[in-house]
């Protein structure tokens, strides 16, 4: 069958549109429409074939897109089409009516300048009305004797499907268009507009300079970051628009972890764009709003309450943020889009502020860990926060600015123990070193066959005495949680100093994360292979122990261990007098052992701990029987061994517990076998 319509294309998008248009015209008109993609045979002389098809075709359509308008192939084919039409027609007066540039993706109102043989030829733009006109033009040329009713009916039937397919093609390539291709489109359109301003030299100059400057900015905005990926620097004023684009529309599966310094760089939270970001943010997201003082917090409490009703929101004072984490004291956001992370942060470049986007894995990891630490400093906003209640606002402001704690956060042990003295001398406790060594041995034996990096969690890390042992373990990720802000200061600075001054003592695969948080409620991402508590469980109030043990279970991986080393009282009756006697029996034993070894500073610390226990102030030691009963009711099984003193239960002592989740919650026995 000879060719009636020759359809030319260049590029994947143009090819797909040409093939779909050919099928549509054949169905509607009952003619032969040729595209080289569908009918060119392997090893066929393409030039001879195209010339033959062009010479026999009665009509030629060129599928023009923004990408191929200046393509050399389209220029060659336009010339070949023109020459073929010139030789095929004795009367070439209607030659222009037999060639049709078909514009598939040019914006409305924008008409490309067609050079060469196509100059002055009428174009058809993709759309129902213009395609209908083209169809009836083809009907008139190719089969004028046939009735038009059938063409109308077949057009009405076939057009919706054709339009759906071509729209899908255009959408597919619009979504995958690379930034510089989009800039090329913008440049082409802008050049067309500049041509229209030639009668105004001033406007022409302004438009040309703007276009050149924008091109230079785009090229300068992209910079390699040394991590195998590229950073993108954009004007900071565009950040809310870009952030909204990332978390909305086609990117519905998104999670955001962000820090926002209110009214520093980000002034948009009370504006319309802030409301749109709120609407699109997923409920799995977390954001820390940083405020300057209580007045600033009260001024923004409505915005904070609105966000807290949708996802997890925290509030932090700017002073605390700067004092604790000055390196990260700026706005940043971590977005996971369909599981793929990207970091955005504000940066000053000379006198200008930019927003930098990066996919650098090391930097994303650094900021993810920092966010967890920052989160531990902040105060959670209630999800049902009544911003109209002055009482609710006053209570929340009080929690944010720690009116019931220290200047920097809550305190516990530092209320009754000199923290510097404790950190310096507690290692000399008669049984502490042996207890810590045994805890590490149990962990290593249990995970001796592990090949993956182990995630370790320490609850009640204090000033980091036991943490120092954990950080020397190979292939480990250590998270150390401490509630007391004054202890945490020592812990954090000790970890950072140790990491920077002893790199040879730390495996490259080891990472340490200090967190200011509550052991009863700390809920990070992921679970842990081992959870440790060293001289810490006796600081958990009796009424909080079930919640504490439940949180341990929630954070423990299947088959993982909870390893506890702690001080326990001798058996006693459930009376204050009996309890106080048991408390004095234990501490007096430790005081005498410390004095005998010449460790008078330890004896002093023990006397302070005894006084706090007698006053029920933060020291809540119990007997083994009471502790084990709570473990059993909480669904744990365990083994226990004495560290010292051995051979007597008259004064209590230091014991190590190897604890695991009991699958059937049976009655526990002290020597029940642990899982392998």
More confident residue, 584 or 281: 584
How high is the pLDDT of residue 669?
Answer: 40
How high is the pLDDT of residue 323?
Answer: 75
User: For the chain, how many structural domains are there in total?
Assistant: 3
- Asked whether residue 417 falls in the same domain as residue 384, the answer is no
- Asked whether residue 389 falls in the same domain as residue 433, the answer is no
Whether 361 shows a pLDDT value over 80: the answer reads yes
More confident residue, 564 or 401: 564
Long-range Cβ contact pairs of 578-583 (< 8 A, separation 24 or more): 580/614, 582/623, 582/652, 583/610, 583/613, 583/614, 583/621
How high is the pLDDT of residue 76?
Answer: 65
Helices (H) and strands (E) in the chain, counts: 23, 21
Nearest to 288 by CA among 405, 374, 168, 399: 374
Domain boundary among 377, 400, 423: 400
- Asked whether residue 395 falls in the same domain as residue 431, the answer is no
- For residue 74 the two structure tokens come to 């389209």
- Asked whether residue 382 falls in the same domain as residue 438, the answer is no
Give, as one character, the DSSP assignment of residue 324: H
Nearest to 317 by CA among 396, 256, 382: 396
Whether 223 shows a pLDDT value over 70: the answer reads no
CATH number at residue 80: 3.40.50.10140
* C-alpha to C-alpha distance for 355 and 259, rounded to whole angstroms: 14
CA distances 461 to 259, 305, 485, Å, are 26, 33, 12
Whether 403 shows a pLDDT value over 60: the answer reads no
**Across the chain, what does the average pLDDT equal?**
81
**What tens digit of pLDDT does each residue of 270-293 get?**
778 888 888 888 888 899 999 988
User: pTM value?
Assistant: 0.49
Structural domain contains residue 202: no
- Asked whether residue 377 falls in the same domain as residue 446, the answer is no
pLDDT band at 70 (very low <50, low <70, confident <90, very high): low
Domain boundary among 153, 176, 199: 176
Structural domain contains residue 584: no
pLDDT band at 183 (very low <50, low <70, confident <90, very high): low
Q: Where are the alpha helices (DSSP H) in 256-317?
A: 272-280, 294-299, 301-308
Structural domain contains residue 566: yes
- Contact in structure between 268 and 240 (CB atoms under 8 Å): yes
* C-alpha to C-alpha distance for 42 and 200, rounded to whole angstroms: 55
CATH number at residue 254: 3.30.870.10
* C-alpha to C-alpha distance for 15 and 221, rounded to whole angstroms: 33
- Asked whether residue 236 falls in the same domain as residue 379, the answer is yes
- CB-side exposure of 675: number of CA atoms within 13 Å? 13
- Asked whether residue 367 falls in the same domain as residue 450, the answer is no
Name the strands in the sheet holding 379-380, side by side, starting at the edge strand that comes first in the sequence. Answer: 222-224, 230-235, 352-358, 340-349, 332-337, 254-261, 286-291, 312-317, 379-380
- For residue 525 the two structure tokens come to 């991402």
Structural domain contains residue 59: yes
Q: Strands 230-235 and 352-358, how do they pair?
A: antiparallel
- Asked whether residue 286 falls in the same domain as residue 171, the answer is no
Burial 545-567 (b: 16+ CB within 10 A, else e): bebbbebbeebbeeebbbbbbbb
Structural domain contains residue 369: yes
How high is the pLDDT of residue 250?
Answer: 47
Whether 249 shows a pLDDT value over 90: the answer reads no
pLDDT band at 350 (very low <50, low <70, confident <90, very high): low
- Asked whether residue 425 falls in the same domain as residue 390, the answer is no
**What tens digit of pLDDT does each residue of 370-384 get?**
888 888 778 888 888
- Asked whether residue 436 falls in the same domain as residue 385, the answer is no
Domain boundary among 400, 435, 460: 400
Spatial neighbors of 563 by CB under 8 A, at least 6 apart, are: 439, 442, 443, 530, 531, 532, 533, 656, 657, 658, 659
Structural domain contains residue 560: yes
CA angle 217/223/227 to nearest 5° reads 160
Structural domain contains residue 535: yes
Whether 622 shows a pLDDT value over 60: the answer reads yes
- Asked whether residue 521 falls in the same domain as residue 555, the answer is yes
- Asked whether residue 352 falls in the same domain as residue 470, the answer is no
Nearest to 126 by CA among 158, 74, 160, 163: 163
CATH number at residue 451: 3.40.50.150
Provide the domain limits for residue 385. Answer: 230-400
- The secondary structure of 341-369 as a DSSP string is EEEEEEEEETTEEEEEEE--HHHHHHHHH
* C-alpha to C-alpha distance for 512 and 458, rounded to whole angstroms: 11
* C-alpha to C-alpha distance for 123 and 131, rounded to whole angstroms: 11
Q: Where are the alpha helices (DSSP H) in 122-200?
A: 128-142, 148-176, 179-195
- The dihedral built from the CA positions of residue 606, 607, 608 and 612, taken in this order, carries a sign that is positive
Structural domain contains residue 274: yes
């Amino acid at each position: 069958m000879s060719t009636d319509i020759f359809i030319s294309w260049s590029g994947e998008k143009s090819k797909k549109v040409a093939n779909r248009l050919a099928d549509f015209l054949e169905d509607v008109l009952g003619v032969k429409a040729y595209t080289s993609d569908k009918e060119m045979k392997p090893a066929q002389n393409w030039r001879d074939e195209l010339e033959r098809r062009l010479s026999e075709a009665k009509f030629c359509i060129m599928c023009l897109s923004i990408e191929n308008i200046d393509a050399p192939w389209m220029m060659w084919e336009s010339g070949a089409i023109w020459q073929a039409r010139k030789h095929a027609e004795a009367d070439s007066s209607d030659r222009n009516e037999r060639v049709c540039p078909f514009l598939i993706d040019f914006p409305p109102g924008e008409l490309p300048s067609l050079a060469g043989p196509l100059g002055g030829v009428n174009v058809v733009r993709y759309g129902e009305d213009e395609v209908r006109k083209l169809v009836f033009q083809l009907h008139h040329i190719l089969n004028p004797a046939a009735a038009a009713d059938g063409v109308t009916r077949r057009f009405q039937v076939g057009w919706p499907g054709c339009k759906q397919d071509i729209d899908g093609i255009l959408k597919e390539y619009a979504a995958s268009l690379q930034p510089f291709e989009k800039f090329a489109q913008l440049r082409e359109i802008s050049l067309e507009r500049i041509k229209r301003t030639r009668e105004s030299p001033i406007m022409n100059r302004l438009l040309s300079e703007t276009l050149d400057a924008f091109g230079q900015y785009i090229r300068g905005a992209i910079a390699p970051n040394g991590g195998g990926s590229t950073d993108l620097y954009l004007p900071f004023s565009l950040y809310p628009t870009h952030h909204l684009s990332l978390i909305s529309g086609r990117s519905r599966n998104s999670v955001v972890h962000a820090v926002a310094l209110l009214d520093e760089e980000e002034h948009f939270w009370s504006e319309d764009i802030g409301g749109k970001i709120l609407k699109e943010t997923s409920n799995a997201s977390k954001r820390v709003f940083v405020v300057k003082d209580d007045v600033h917090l009260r001024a923004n409490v409505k915005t904070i309450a609105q966000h807290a009703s949708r996802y997890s929101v925290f509030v932090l004072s700017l002073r605390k943020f700067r004092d604790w984490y000055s390196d990260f004291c700026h706005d940043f956001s971590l977005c996971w889009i369909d599981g793929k992370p990207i970091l955005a942060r504000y940066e000053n470049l000379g006198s200008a502020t930019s927003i930098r986007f990066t996919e650098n894995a090391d930097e994303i990891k650094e900021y993810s860990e920092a966010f967890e630490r920052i989160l531990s400093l902040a105060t959670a906003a209630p999800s049902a926060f009544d911003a109209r209640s002055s009482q609710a606002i006053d209570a929340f402001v009080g929690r944010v600015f720690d009116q019931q704690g220290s200047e920097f956060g809550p305190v516990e042990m530092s209320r009754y123990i000199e923290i510097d003295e404790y950190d310096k001398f507690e290692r000399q406790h008669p049984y502490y070193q042996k207890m810590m060594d045994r805890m590490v041995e149990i962990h290593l034996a249990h995970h001796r066959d592990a090949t993956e990096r182990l995630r370790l969690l320490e609850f009640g890390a204090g000033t980091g005495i036991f943490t120092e042992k954990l950080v020397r373990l190979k292939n480990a990720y250590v998270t150390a949680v401490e509630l007391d802000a004054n202890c945490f200061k020592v812990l954090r600075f000790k970890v950072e100093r140790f990491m920077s001054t002893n790199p040879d003592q730390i495996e490259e695969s080891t990472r340490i994360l200090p967190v200011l948080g509550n052991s009863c409620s700390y809920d990070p991402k992921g679970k842990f292979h081992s959870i440790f508590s060293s001289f810490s469980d006796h600081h958990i109030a009796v009424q909080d122990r079930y919640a504490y043990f439940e949180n341990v279970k929630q954070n423990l991986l299947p088959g993982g261990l909870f390893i506890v080393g702690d001080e326990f009282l001798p058996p006693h009756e459930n009376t204050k007098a009996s309890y106080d006697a048991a408390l004095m029996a234990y501490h007096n034993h430790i005081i005498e052992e410390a004095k005998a070894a010449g460790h008078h500073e330890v004896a002093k610390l023990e006397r302070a701990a005894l006084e706090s226990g007698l006053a029920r102030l933060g020291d809540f030691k119990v007997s083994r029987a009471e502790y084990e009963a709570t473990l059993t009711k909480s669904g744990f099984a365990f083994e226990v061994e004495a560290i010292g003193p051995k051979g007597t239960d008259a004064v209590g002592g230091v014991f190590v517990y190897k604890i695991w989740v009991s699958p059937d919650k049976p009655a526990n026995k002290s020597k029940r076998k642990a899982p392998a």
